[in-house]
Amino acid sequence: MREGIVYVDGKWSTPEHAKISVFDHGLLYGDGVFEGIRFYNGRVFKLDRHIDRMFESARLIGLTPSVTKEEFRDIILETCRRSGLTDGYLRPVFTRGEGDLGLDPRKAKRSSTVVICSTISLYGDKHRTGLTAIVAQVRRPPRVCLNPNVKSLNYLNNILAKSEANARGADEALMLDLEGNVAEMSADNLFVVKGRTVYTPQTSNCLVGITRETILELCEGRYPVRTEMFKLDFALQAEEVFLTGTGGEVAPVISVEGHPIGNGKPGPVTVELQQRYFDLVRSTGTPIPSGNGGSVSTKAAASSPA
């Protein structure tokens, strides 16, 4: 049985009982947006930043959520509270909603709001020992095809890259853009370290990752940072490579296409930033309310079964 609880349009259910229509355009066309948020020690990390990014994703595809930002924030916190978990993972989703067949988004009259609260485990002990990566054949679509800042329900491009990694026995896939610049990993941003300078690609061809932003903040005053495009060669010659993401957190990449990075072991800058990241996520964030009352004020929350 899966841990956690799921909110769908005004109602909370166990993960087994949560349902959405097969006519939802989120399922039929991947028409919708999502976020991935973690909570640690009873606090949700960068909750408002994730909510802002989700509403921005929705805006970029012309999707009007069925809830306001304030209602959504309350629903997320209430979902965490009801889960009883102190550490876990939130997967809020706005789908285009239920509608007749045909991809015209006007067929769906009202967006559906889903919040899954559960747990996620991606790399296990490899946070400490490091991950291996391949370079995916499949490229990131250029911005004119799909703005990388839309965190959409259409993740096939990323899934194909991850499948390449699986087929070749690697942990992760590094993805290039059409010009051959390093873009990101299948579901994480990428950093390289050279001579204590920390580099990460600009966000013109990758997601504006919230973990990426956090790492850039943690570098301030400690390491020089350069956000600029670079090619694969530059990454292969780096002393350290690491990835960042809400799910993947901060994890060392110790080889790419069989080439060891640096000495093939997690490097000191990665290890220090990773430690600072874990210290930060465990000590900051929006507290999950305990007990009833208090912060829950939405109609949706009020009309649900306890």
Question: Is residue 240 at the binding interface for ligand PXG, with CB under 6 A as the rule?
Answer: no
203 binds ligand PXG (CB under 6 A): no
Q: How far is the CB of 190 from ligand PXG (least distance, A)?
A: 9
Angstrom distances, CA of residue 176 to CA of 179, 247, 262: 8, 21, 21
Distances (CA, A) of 231 to 75, 182, 183, 202, 253: 42, 6, 9, 13, 17
Part in contact with ligand PXG (CB under 6 A); list of ranges 7-15, 55-63, 207-215, 266-274? 207-215
List the interface residues with ligand PXG, window 112-171 (CB under 6 A).
158
Contacts of residue 3, Cβ cutoff 8 Å, sequence gap at least 6: 15, 83, 85, 88, 118, 119
By CB under 6 A, residue 205 contacts ligand PXG? no
Q: Please report how close the Cβ of residue 160 comes to ligand PXG at its closest, in angstroms.
A: 13
DSSP SS3 for 107: helix
Which residue, 98 or 184, has its beta carbon nearer to ligand PXG? 184
Contact status: 210 vs ligand PXG (CB under 6 A): yes
Q: Closer to ligand PXG by CB, 43 or 99: give it.
A: 43
Stretch that binds ligand PXG, among 8-16, 74-82, 204-212, 279-287 (CB under 6 A): 204-212
Distance between CA atoms of 98 and 94, rounded to whole angstroms?
A: 12
Using CB under 6 A, which of the segments 107-115, 226-234, 241-249, 259-267 binds ligand PXG? 241-249
Enumerate the H helices of the chain as residue ranges: 25-29, 47-60, 69-83, 126-129, 156-167, 210-219, 232-236, 268-283, 299-302
- Name residues whose C-beta falls within 8 Å of residue 272's C-beta, 6 or more positions apart in sequence: none
Binding residues for ligand PXG (CB under 6 A): 36, 158, 184, 187-189, 206-207, 209-212, 244-247
